[in-house]
Amino acid sequence: MGQSDWRALLETTQQLATGYLEGLPDRRVGPTATLAELRAALHQPLLDEPVDALTVTHDLAAAADPGLMATPSSRFFGFVIGGAVPASVAADWLTTAWDQNAGLYAAAPAAMVAEEVAAGWLTDLLGLPASVSTGFVTGCQMANTTGLAAGRHAVLQRVGWDVETQGLAGSPGVRVVVGGERHATIDRALRLLGLGTKQVAVVPADGQGRMLADQLARVLDADDSTPTIVCAQLGNVNTGALDPIADIVELAHRRGAWVHVDGAFGLWAAASPSLAPLVAGAQGADSWATDAHKWLNVPYDSGLIFCADPAAHRAAMGVQASYLIHAEHQERDAMDFNPEFSRRARGFPVYAALRSLGRGGVADLVDRCCALARRFATALEAADGVEVCNDVVLNQVLVRFPGRDGDADRRTPAVVHAVQADGTCWLSGTVWQGRPAMRVSVSNWSTTPADVDRSVAAILRCAEAVG
C-alpha cells in the first residue's frame, strides 16, 4: 500500500464517517435491519485472495449501516451511553493511525505523558486527592475489578497476608460489603478476584436504590475481624441515586475497611459546582471507578480507576518480565495500573475531550444532561396515565405507564417496544424493584430541549397507540 492509496482510502473513510455523523439529526435512532438481514449482508466466504482495502471499507459500511444503533444521536437515551465530543473523535482517529502500544513509556512515550496530564486534570475535576494513582482501562467493569484488586491487596496486607504471593487459599479471607442495588459488574469483578457470593454481605437499599447507612453499620458490626471492603455506588444505573457516601466512608474507615466507589457516571457530579454536594465525602474513599465513555462523552472503550494507595494499586496490577523495558526515572508505565498488557492509547481521546470542554464545559455537560432529564420527567408526569417513579437527582428517569386501567406492568414494556419501533428516539426497559419501567438516560453533549420535546411527543404518541 503506497502513500496515494492511504489518501484515497482514508478520504473515503472520512466521507463515510462524516456522512454518518452529519446524518444523525435525520436518522432513525434504532437499527432497521433484522438479524437475518445483517447476517446475509455481512456473511461472505473468506476468500483465498486478498480484497482491496477500499472495497472492504465500502462493503463494510454498506452492510453495517442498517444494523447501526445511532448511539451518538442526540435522541439516543438508552442505557447510560452518551455520544462522543468532536475533539475526542478526532483524537481517537489519530490514536488508530498512530497505533501506539500504550503499556510502557518505552513503547509509547507521548501516550504515557498524555495519560499523565489527563490523569492530573481528572483528579482535579473529580475532587480526588492529588496523590491518587490512575489507570486508563476499558470501562467501569475493569475499573471496578482493578479497584477491588487493590482493596483486596490492602486489607489482607494489613493482617500480614500477601495475596499476590500466597493467593487466597488459607488466607484470613476477605469480606465484601455491597448494596442491594449495586451494579452487576461488581459481582463479576469479585468473581474474577476469587471472591464468591458467600464472602459478600448485602446491605439493603432504600426505594431509590441507596445503601442504608444504619444497615451498613449493623453489617459491619456483625463481624469486626475479617478484612473488609465496602463497595459504595454513586449513580444507580436505573434511578441515578447516590449512596450516602460521607456516612459510608466514615463507618467503614472507623472499622478499618477499604472503601471502593463505583461511580461509573455519578462520580461526574463532582465536576459540577451545583451537583458536587451530592457526592461530598467521596474524596475520602480508597478507590474510585468511573467511565470516560459515559458522561465525559469519549468514544468506546474508556474507563478510569483512581486509587488513594498507589502502592496497593501497583501491587495488584504491576507486571515484570525480562524483556520489558521498565521506566527508570519519573516515567509512568501504564501496565502497572491496569489489567491489560498491550493496549490502545485510550488516554489521547480523554485528553482531547477534557481540553476541548475545559473545566466549565464538563460542568455544563453534566448540568445540561440533568436539566434535560428533569424536562423529560416534568413533561411525562404532566401527561395522563404516566408516572415517574424515581427522584430525578441526576440524568436518569424511570417511567411507568399505568394508563386508564392501571395495568402498568403490562403496558410499560409494550410502550418501550413501540418507542423503539417508532425510531424518533431510542430507550430501553428495566425491572425496578420488581416492576417493569422505561429508562431514560440523558448522557449526550448534543441533546437539546427540542430533542427532549420531540422524544416526549413520540413516547406519548406510542403510549396512546398501545392503549
**Under the rule (CB under 6 A), what is the footprint of ligand PLP?**
80, 139-141, 183, 185, 233, 235, 237, 262, 264-265, 291, 303
- Dist. CA 282–CA 269, nearest whole Å: 11
Backbone phi, psi, residue 133, to 5°: -95, 155
- Closest residue by beta carbon to ligand PLP: 139
**Least distance from C-beta 186 to ligand PLP, angstroms?**
7
Question: Judged by CB, which is closer to ligand PLP: 183, or 374?
Answer: 183
Cis check for the bond before 221: say yes or no (omega within 30 of 0): no
**Cβ closer to ligand PLP: 233 or 424?**
233
The Cα 375–Cα 77 span in angstroms is 14
Residue 317 Cβ, how far from ligand PLP at the closest point, in Å? 17
Nearest C-alpha neighbor of 80 from the set 269, 207, 209, 236: 236
Q: With respect to ligand PLP, which residue has the nearer C-beta, 438 or 460?
A: 438
Cell of 197: 457470593
In the complex, least distance from residue 184 CB atom to ligand PLP, rounded to whole angstroms: 8
The candidate with the shortest Cα–Cα distance to 302, out of 465, 128, 68, 81, is: 81
CA distance 448 to 454: 10
- 246 close to 285: Cβ distance less than 8 angstroms: no
The residue among 178 and 399 lying less far from ligand PLP, judged by its C-beta, is 178
Q: Which is nearer to ligand PLP, 237 or 317 (CB)?
A: 237
Cell of 75: 435522541
Residue 362 C-beta: closest distance to ligand PLP, Å: 18
Beta strands 200-203; 175-179: pairing state:
parallel
Residue 185 or residue 338: which is nearer to ligand PLP going by CB? Answer: 185
What Å distances lie between residue 49 and 43, 54, 406, CA to CA? Answer: 17, 15, 62
Q: How far is the CB of 279 from ligand PLP (least distance, A)?
A: 13
- Contact between 235 and 392 under an 8 Å Cβ cutoff? The reply is no
Helix boundaries (H) for 99-166: 109-125, 140-157, 163-166
Strand partners, 289: 262, 305
Given the complex with ligand PLP, which of 344 and 411 has the nearer CB atom?
344
Minimum CB separation from ligand PLP for residue 183, in Å? 3
Using alpha carbons, select from 73, 22, 21 the residue that is nearest to residue 425: 73
Report whether 373 contacts 396 (CB < 8 A). yes
Min separation Cβ 59 and ligand PLP, Å:
30
Cβ of residue 271: shortest distance to ligand PLP, in angstroms?
Answer: 16
Q: 155 vs 264, which CB is nearer to ligand PLP?
A: 264
Query: How wide is the angle at C-alpha 157 spanned by C-alphas 102 and 144, nearest 5°?
Result: 45
Phi, psi of 383 (to 5 degrees): -85, 150
* Helix residue ranges per DSSP H, 183-283: 184-192, 213-221, 245-254
In this complex, which beta carbon is closest to ligand PLP, that of residue 147 or of residue 303?
303
We find the least distance from the C-beta atom of residue 413 to ligand PLP, in angstroms, to be: 22
The neighbour count for residue 204, using CB atoms within 10 Å, is 13
Alpha carbon of 184 to those of 6, 145, 179, 199, 262: distances in Å? 43, 12, 11, 16, 11
In the complex with ligand PLP, the residue whose CB is nearer, 183 or 400, is 183
Q: Toward ligand PLP, which CB reaches closer, 237 or 373?
A: 237
Q: How far is the CB of 160 from ligand PLP (least distance, A)?
A: 32
In whole angstroms, the minimum distance from the beta carbon of 440 to ligand PLP comes to 14
